[in-house]
Amino acid sequence: MPEKQLIRDVVTATLARTRSYLAEEFGIDVRGISRDSGNIELLAIHDLTAIVGVGGPVNLLVAFSFERELANVLYQRMTEGMDVAPGEEDLYRGSVVAEIVNTVIGNCTADFQQADQRISLTPPVVLDQAKRIQRMKNATFISRTVHTDFGCLDINLVGPTELFDDKLDYVD
């Protein structure tokens, strides 16, 4: 499959799975999905972001970057009825966003699988600080914003993976 078509399939699958996962697991409806017009030269990452690397033919990093209010609602709903010790809230909040990207992208591998080629995923990495990433000329940046009543989730696809470490910094 041509690379551009595969990337389009990954974006489509990711958005569809995100929409259904938020609705079914959290009762949160997606109100709309927007995209930046033109080429993206700068990615702005919110202060809570979970990243997974997708290997095999896909070869991209997928970063789910959450606005704080949305992250808080997701955390509250996923930990409802659980004992979270005082002082461990941030740890669990990070675990919740990591689990969301892991589940959505893991489920997506069924949608963009190719014959007999294993699509590996890396364990999620959580970034807890906002950052801005300038695009270098051979990098691919794709970004979509998922809107909900509780705030936005930016879904960023960045690649190829060889250019970046697991925190979205360029590798020298």
Partner 1 sequence: MESLKILVVDDSLITIKKLSAMLDQLGHTVVRTAGTGREALQAYAECAPDLVTMDITMPDMDGIEATRLIRDRFPQALIVMVTSHGQEKMVLDALQAGAKGYVLKPFRQDKLEEVISMSLKRRASHDTQASSDA
Residues near partner 1, by CB under 8 A: 21, 24-25, 78-79, 81-82, 91-92, 95-96, 98-99, 102-111, 113, 116-123
Min dist. Cβ of residue 61 to partner 1 (A): 14
Measured from the CB atom, the residue of 35 and 118 that comes closer to partner 1 is: 118
Min dist. Cβ of residue 57 to partner 1 (A): 12
Measured from the CB atom, the residue of 46 and 93 that comes closer to partner 1 is: 93
Min dist. Cβ of residue 134 to partner 1 (A): 29
**Residue entry with tokens 């409802």:** 80
Min dist. Cβ of residue 34 to partner 1 (A): 26
Range 104-111 contact pairs with CB under 8 angstroms and sequence separation of 24 or more: 104/14, 104/17, 104/18, 104/21, 104/64, 105/14, 105/17, 105/52, 105/54, 105/62, 107/17, 107/21, 108/10, 108/13, 108/14, 108/17, 109/54, 111/9, 111/13, 111/16, 111/17
Measured from the CB atom, the residue of 17 and 46 that comes closer to partner 1 is: 17
Measured from the CB atom, the residue of 85 and 171 that comes closer to partner 1 is: 85
